[in-house]
Amino acid sequence: MTDEQLKRLVLAIIKKQTQIIGENLALERAVNTGLIQISSKDARNLTIEQIHFSGADNEVVTRLIESYREIFGQASVDVCVNILRENFPNDFRTVIPQTLLV
């Protein structure tokens, strides 16, 4: 996955989570992964240019999803998996560990 693809994926996950758990908590949980830096406090207008990350692609995605799961349980994981399916219809399972797929 390219950096831009990863940024678009992280952006899509964060924006969807803002609809579920709210803007502040969605951004806070993303940043608290320790792998994602966001240079905006406005999730609704967040762009890929405002997202930076460190770590391997799978690690970034996994930690982000786990962060949301801690708050809202399996429902948050399911939302994220749906986003992965939309972005990687043929190989979304390679982006997320089987342990998150219940």
Give pLDDT, residue 25: 94
Total of domains in the chain: 1
pLDDT at position 6: 87
The whole-angstrom separation of Cα 91 and Cα 37 is 26
- List pLDDT tens digits, range 39-94: 998 888 999 999 999 988 889 988 999 999 998 888 888 888 888 888 877 776 67
What residue numbers bound the domain in which 36 lies?
3-100
pLDDT-derived band of residue 100, with 50, 70 and 90 as boundaries? low
* Torsion sign over Cα 27, 71, 6, 83: negative
HSE, CB side, 13 Å, CA atoms: give it for residue 51: 25
At residue 34, the pLDDT reads 94
Closest by alpha carbon to 48, among 82, 86, 2?
Answer: 2
pTM above 0.85, yes or no: yes
Pairing of strands 36-38, 51-53: antiparallel
d(CA 57, CA 64): 11
